[in-house]
Amino acid sequence: MTTMLTRPDRTEAADYYFTYVDRVPPDADVLRLLEDQLPATVKLLEGISDEQSLYRYAPGKWSIREVVSHLNDTERLFVFRAMWFARGLEPALPSFDQDVALAGAYADERPWRQHIDEFRAVRAASLAFFKHLRDDVWTRRGVASGNPFSVRALAYITAGHVSHHTILLRERYL
């Protein structure tokens, strides 16, 4: 079995990130899951109207546009980290504050269609990156936000993060 298809072990990311890793089915091909999530997520998002995309299920919670903006930003972040470690770059990477990033995105000011198109483009770029990694690169490691990560764990985290938020969209927003 190739390295990318082997589930990351608990040394490949901090416990918190296994919230996302554990959303990936145990025998899943993570690349296939990332591919399959693209049309499925776009279909879900396209079923949401422009007006509905501004909905918040409670005061102080993110709007649907903000959730998708967060998905796009964090996917970029996870894949950047994976690229950094895959290429053998050694300096530890800094933390990412999702609330600061979201505030700077002005997600509710942008048309809903742009968020959907951006998700499509970000995922296509993520797939292009992960699909072309050599088998030995998947186990390379580095540190980000003071936590260890392997390239493989970051692929699983990327897939699991989208699964996590699409479930929340269905359960709390739609």
E-only strand ranges, the chain: 141-144, 147-150
138 located within any domain: yes
Query: Does residue 96 form part of some domain?
Result: yes
Residue numbers of the domain that contains 122:
12-173
User: What pLDDT shows up at residue 67?
Assistant: 98
Residue 4 domain-assigned (yes or no): no
Q: CATH number for the domain including 39?
A: 1.20.120.450
The per-residue pLDDT for range 104-113, each reduced to its tens digit, is 999 999 999 9
Residue 3 has pLDDT above 80, yes or no: no
| Cβ-proximal residues to 92 (8 Å cutoff; 6+ apart), any chain | 142, 143, 144, 146
What letter does residue 91 receive in the DSSP assignment? S
DSSP line for 32-57:
HHHHHHHHHHHHHHHTS-TTGGG--S
SS3 content of the chain, % helix, strand, coil (to 5): 65, 5, 30
**Domains in the chain, number:** 1
Q: What is the pLDDT of residues 8-66, one digit of tens each?
A: 999 999 999 999 999 999 999 999 999 999 999 999 999 999 999 999 999 999 999 99
Residue 2 lies in a domain: no
Is 164 contained in some domain? Answer: yes
pTM listed for this prediction? 0.96
Q: What is the pLDDT of residue 39?
A: 98
Structure tokens at 5: 């298809």
pLDDT tens column, 144-165: 999 999 999 999 999 999 999 9
Q: Is residue 79 part of a domain?
A: yes
